[in-house]
Structure 1
């Protein structure tokens, strides 16, 4: 797709458009609930891990076989270094995806299988519509060996990271959708 055709293209309302250096165009739905949930998790990373912790949001991470991802939130090893312009999946300690209207199947099924297959130690699905966080640990070749559901409003959830640090997700502070927002 040429720059001229991109400039003239119309993209669906309510979506953020990412243009990858590899030529991919990714449309990501953007909602208030999605954005607020990511912001809340980012705040928790600062409180838990410090201001300068490596916690990218919506930033490409290289995976093998051209399965690159830009997760809603990632927590990287403290000594992680970019290879070229990106970090690799080997730097990742935790990935979190926030469920949105169009991403539920991908977040619950596709990403669980993918992140487990590549050995991401912790995969956290945060679902504002179900008011729960699903914590996956013990990666396997096709997913995770352990999954635990934690409801919003049940306090602070300590999540041990493979490097000895602990990320604490405050389940009391995660935003809920407004009554008329729908999925």
Structure 2
């Protein structure tokens, strides 16, 4: 059974992380439970229609979306459910001129699908680093990498130092 789920995961992943909008809708209608949820660091949606809209949006705004799968693993969890995880590098190509901006966003992503006893996906979670995303954004990435993170670190250090002195806590 787990090999079948890995095959389903490979097929679903190949279609969702691409520009194949019609196939995305079909694959979600076929393999996702009606009330499935999709979670990412910045979004949460529920239901097939909302999940379809999320992937339609991504496929629309980028020139290309490609994925390179590194590994697929699975495990059994309570209630006759299986979790299949896909570790992949997903590349999103922006419609920008490469002279001024970086044209491609690369995100190392762990996609976790929870399958119920009927082999339907009830939960889809994409895990990726916001830091990695921001660092690949045109212009913003450089500012964030070289100034933003260091500035926040210095601000927190100074804030903690001030709080400690206010409450009489010796450093």
How high is the TM-score relative to the length of structure 2?
0.25
Structure showing the higher helix proportion among its residues? 2
TM-score with structure 1 length normalisation?
0.24
Structure having the higher Rg: 2
